[in-house]
Amino acid sequence: MGSYKEAGGLGKLFEGQKQSTTSELPPEMVLFEHPAEELTAAEAGDMLVPFAFEEALCRDVGAGLVPPCLHIWSHPGGVVLGLRDSKLPHAEAAMAGLEQAGFRTAVRHSGGAAVPLDTGIVNVSLILPKAPGKLDFHDDFRLLASLIAEAAAASHPQAAAQIRAGEIAGSYCPGDFDLAIGAANSAASPSAGRAARTSCTRSW
């Protein structure tokens, strides 16, 4: 990770955003990988399995039973709504319409916006213990965004140098920590930029 930081990549990544104390990754972490092609038939049939797995991890990390974790996973397909979206006036009708169109749906017990799942979508969750009296999700998102950018820099340094964090107009779930390559052109030509949503979890 040092090369990206030394090159000033993190400063460019959050250019124009209000800065706060940047958290650091713990010295010891556990990596869990669950790619779609390695799922059992039962796991592939239930989109909520990865979310249930992470809820269990949150409890164990918060209790100090396991070190902080990084969970990388994908799923064959479907749309998972968060609790917020599931309460919208036409959510039930929208889910029925998706099911009729061949897209499976489910409601997870956390989050807000709907999340599309597909074998080509990689989900990354960072699960860290919560320090007493401290709950700043902006620091958590900033840490995960930095981690993703540094991982990209290891294999694609030129592309990583163009990554910027900031709301992407027109994205399915816009937020301050959307990551984009070539974002300046993405509004006019969606194929010109690639974007990713960051997701971070703090265990209690």
Question: Annotated active-site positions, please?
Answer: 173
Q: What angle do CA 64, 69, 74 make, to 5 degrees?
A: 145
**Structure tokens of 12?**
């460019």
Q: Are 147 and 126 in contact (CB under 8 A)?
A: yes
Nearest to 201 by CA among 60, 76, 36, 7: 60
**Structure tokens of 188?**
């006019």
In this structure, the dihedral spanned by the alpha carbons of residues 154, 24, 35 and 118, taken in order and rounded to 10 degrees, is -90
